[in-house]
Structure 1
Amino acid sequence: MASHRKPRQRPLSGGTVRKAATLALAGAATATAFEGSSAAEPRLTPDQVKERVDRLYEEAEAASEQYNGAKEKADRAQRSLDELRDRTARTTDRLNTARNALGSLASSQYRSGALGPAMQLVLSDDPQEYLDRAALLDRAGDRSAADLATVRSRLDEVGRLRAEAAGRLADLRAQQAELARHKRTVEGKLEDARRLLNRLTAEERARYEAMDPDSGPAPAPRGPAPAARNRTPSAHPAPPADGSRAARAVSFAHGAIGKPYVWGSTGPGSFDCSGLTQAAWRSAGVSLPRTTYTQINAGRRVARSQLAPGDLVFFYSGITHVGLYIGNGQMIHAPRTGSTVRIAPIDSMPWAGATRPS
C-alpha cells in the first residue's frame, strides 16, 4: 500500500540562501530604479538652463583664473628648481676636480716619502737639486692644505644645494597639486554646463543661443554693436592710429577677434580673458601679470567716466573677468568656453573697476 505522507523538505543550504537574498536585492534595486526614473527632475526651460549655465561659466572662469595663478607659480618653481639643479651639477663638477687634484698630490707625496728627508739627502746624487725639490714639496704641502679646505667647502656647498633643491621640489609638487585641483574644478563646471545644454531640444538650443550673445561665432567687427541690456547700440570704434602703446594694444586685440576662447591660453591662436589682455599689452612692450586679480593692480586705477582706449576693464565681485576698452562704451574680450574673441558693451556684466597700464 502506497504511503500518503508529504515528502520531507530539505533545509536550504547556505549557498541557496545567499542566492535568494541576492535575487531579492536585485529585484528591489530594479524596482527602485523604475520608481526613480518616473520621478526624474522636471525639464528645465531655456531661461532656467541659461541661468544655471551662466552661473557655471562664471564659476569656471573664476576657477580658470585660479588655475592661471597656480600655473604661474608652478612654472616659476620649476624654473627655480632647474636653475638650482644646474648650480648643484656645476658645484659637484668642481668638487670632483678638487678631489682629483688632491688625490694626485697625495699619491705623489706618498711615492716620494718612502725614505726620510735625511736619508734622501745622503743618497741624492745632487744635494742642491734635493734641497730645491724639498722646498717645492713644502710649498706643495701648503697647497694641499688649501686644496683640502676647498674640497671641504665644496662638499658643504653641494650638501646645502641638494637640501635646498629638495625643498624646491616639495614646493613644486605642492604647486602642481594645486594646479591639478583647479583644473578639475574648471573641467567639472564646464562638463556640468555641457550636460545642461545637451538636455535642450534643437529648438530650445536655438532660443538659448539667441538669448546668449557670447555663444557661437563672433559678430562682425563693423556695424552696430550687440545691444546691451537697456542700452542703445553704438558703432564699433576704429583702432586708434596715434602709435601709442595703448593704440598698439587695442590694434592687437582687434586682430584677435574671432579667435577661440580656450581657458588657460595666452595665444597666439586662442586666448582666455586675461591671456588676451596680457598678450595685447605685451605687443605694446608692457608686461602684465597673468591673472585678472593681479592685472587690476598693474597700473593706475581709473574711474569708469574717465576710460580711454587700452584701459583694462574688470567685472564681477571676485575680479574674475577682464576686457580691453576700445571706446564708445565697448571692449574686446574673450568671453568663455565655446565662444570667440569679440566686441561687447562694458555694461553687459557687473562692473568691478578699471586700470590703465603704464
Structure 2
Amino acid sequence: MASHRLKRGIFAATAVAVASVSLTGSPATAQPPATAADALKKFNELSEQATKLNEEVLRAQDDLNAKKAELDKANSDVGAAQQVVDRAQADEEKFREHVDVLTQASFEGARFNQLSALLVSESQQDFLNRMSALGILAADNSEALAKLSGAVDTANLAKQSAQDAQTRAQDAAKAAEQLKTDVDKRNGELQTQIKEVKTALNNLSAGDQRKLADKGDMSNISVPAGAAGAALEFALNQRGDGYRYGSTGPDLWDCSGLTMKAYAAAGVSIPRTSGGQAGVGRSVSRADVRAGDLIIYYSSQSHVAMAVDNVRAVHASTEGRPVLIANIDAIGPVSVIRRVAG
C-alpha cells in the first residue's frame, strides 16, 4: 500500500514538473508573424540590427588592418634599427682599434717630452718638427677618443631603438590577434543576423516583397559640376542594383560601399565605413543639404545615403531592396551631414 502511495506521489510530482517546463522552461519556437504588418515590422527591425552589425564588422576590420600596418612598420623598424646597431658596433670596433694604437703611441712618446726633443734635435727646424709631431699625436688621440665615445653612444641608442621596435612589434602582433578574434566573432553574429533577415523577408506577403523590390525613380537626373556631382552621377547609375552586406560593387552594394566607390570615381578617397564617413569633409545643416552631401543616419552612424538634392537621397538600403532614391527624412533619424567636396 505504501508502495502504491509512493508511486502515485512520484507520478504526480513528475507531471507537475513536466507541466512547469512546458509552460515556462522550454525555449519558445519562433513563430511567423501573425499579420503582414507584423511581418514587415519584424523585417525592418532585423534589417536595422543587421545594418548596425555590418557597420561594427567593417569598423573592426578597419581596426585590424590598421593594427596589421602598425605591425608591419614595427617589424620594419626592428630590421632598420638592427642595421644601425650593426653599423654602430662596427664603427665602435674601428675607432677602438684606432684609439688603442694612438694610446700605445702616446705611451711610447710620453718619455719623449719637450726637453728630450730639444736635447736630441740636430737643428732648430728639427726641434720644431719633433714638437709638431708630438702635438699631432695628442690631437689625433683626442679626436679618436671623441669618435669612439660617439660610436659607443650611437650603438647604445641603436640598441635601445631596436628593443623599443621589438616591443612595439610584439604589442601590435598581440593586438592584431585579439582584433582578428573580435572580427571573426562579430562576423559570425552578422551572418546569423543576415539569415534572420532573409527569413523575415521570405515571411513577407508577395505584395510587400514587390514593394520592397521596386526600383523607384529611374529617371534621368542632372548633377552639378565638380567632384560632388561626379560622385552623385556614379551613385545614381547604380540604381536598381542589389544589396549585400559588406559589398562594394560592381553590382551589389552596402550603403557605405556605394558612397565610398562613388567618391572614388570622382577622384576623392573617403573611409570605408559610414562611421568613418561621418568625419570627412565639413558639417552642414539639414537646411543647407545639396547634391553629393553624405547623410549619416542613427545614433550608431550605421547607415549613409548621398543627397540628390535638398529633399531626396540615393542609397543602398537593405536586404531585398535595390539601390534607390528615397526622401531624406524618411530614411531614418539623421545623425550628421557632411560635405565632402565643394
In structure 1, what is the Cα distance between the partners aligned to 2:336 and 2:149?
Answer: 65
Correspondence 1:336 to 2:332: no
Counterpart code for 2:209: E
- 1:125-204 residue pairs with structure 2 within 5 A? 136=140, 139-197=143-201, 200=203
- Mapped contact 1:60–1:185 kept (Cα < 8 A): no
Distance verdict in 2 for CA 1:117–1:191, change over 3 Å: same
Q: Give the Cα–Cα distance (whole angstroms) in 1 for the partners of residues 259 and 40 of structure 2.
A: 27
Which residue is equivalent to 1:21?
A: none
The separation in 1 between residues aligned to 2:274 and 2:150, in whole angstroms, is: 56
CA contact (8 A) 2:197 2:319 kept: no
Q: Give the C-alpha shift of residue 190 in structure 1.
A: 0.6
Q: Does structure 1 residue 56 correspond to structure 2 residue 38?
A: no
Residue 78 of structure 1 pairs with residue 61 of structure 2:
no
Deviations 1:270-306 (A, max 9, x none): 4321222233234445454443345345423322x55
For 2:191 and 2:321, how far apart are their aligned partners in 1?
16
1:210 aligns with 2:210: yes
Q: Which amino acid aligns with 1:238?
A: I
Identical amino acids, percent of aligned pairs: 21
Distance 2:192 2:329 in 1: 29
After TM superposition, the structure 1 stretch with the greater mean CA deviation from structure 2, 67-76 or 137-146, is 137-146
Unaligned runs of 5+ in 1: 1-31, 33-38, 223-235
Partner Cα separation in structure 2 for residue 354 and residue 189 of structure 1? 26
1:328 CA displacement: 7.7
Note if contact 1:265-1:275 (Cα within 8 Å) is conserved in structure 2: yes
The match for 2:10 is: none
Q: Is the 8 A contact 1:46 1:205 kept in 2?
A: no
SS state at 1:327 partner: coil
Structure 1 contact 239–326 (Cα < 8 Å) conserved: no
Partner of 1:249: 231
**CA-to-partner distance for each residue in 1:320-346, whole Å, 9 max, x for gaps?**
322112138432111123544233343
Q: Which amino acid aligns with 2:293?
A: D
In structure 2, give the amino acid aligned to 1:184: G
CA distance in 2, matches of 1:88, 1:117: 42
Alpha carbons of structure 1 residues 237 and 101: separation in structure 2 relative to 1, 3 Å: same
SS state of the match for residue 308, structure 2? strand
* CA displacement, residues 135-185 of structure 1 (integer Å, 9 cap, x when unaligned): 656643432222112111111222222223333334434433433333222
Output the CA distance in 2 between the equivalents of 1:248 and 1:95: 52
5+ residue gaps, structure 2: 1-20, 22-27, 113-128
Shift of 1:70: 2.3
- Tell me by how many angstroms 1:112 deviates: 9.1
Task: Return closer, same or farther for 1:137/1:258 CA change in 2, 3 Å cut-off.
Answer: farther
| Contact in 2 for aligned 1:237/1:327 (Cα 8 Å) | no
Change over 3 Å in CA distance of 1:86–1:269 after alignment to 2 = farther
CA RMSD of aligned residues (A): 4.0
1:55 maps to amino acid: E
Greater fraction of residues in helix: 2
**How far apart, in 1, do the equivalents of 2:277 and 2:299 lie?**
15
Q: CA 1:197–1:147 in 2, change beyond 3 Å: closer, same or farther?
A: same
CA contact (8 A) 2:244 2:254 kept: yes
Given that 1:311 and 1:354 are in contact with CA atoms closer than 8 Å, whether structure 2 keeps it comes out as no
TM-score after normalising by structure 2:
0.69
1-side partners of 2:66 and 2:309: how far apart? 36
- When residues 96 and 354 of structure 1 are mapped into structure 2, their CA distance, relative to the original with a 3 A threshold, is closer
Change (3 A) 1:346 1:149: closer
Q: For 1:68 and 1:339, how far apart are their aligned partners in 2?
A: 21
- Residues of 2 paired with 1:336 and 1:46: CA distance? 22
Determine the structure 1 residue equivalent to 2:277: 295
The offset of 1:58, in angstroms, is 0.8
**Counterpart-to-counterpart distance in 2, 1:268 and 1:99:** 55
* Contact 2:242/2:252, CA 8 A, preserved across alignment: yes
Choose which of 199, 209, 215 in structure 2 pairs with 1:219.
215
Q: State the TM-score, normalizing by the size of structure 1.
A: 0.66
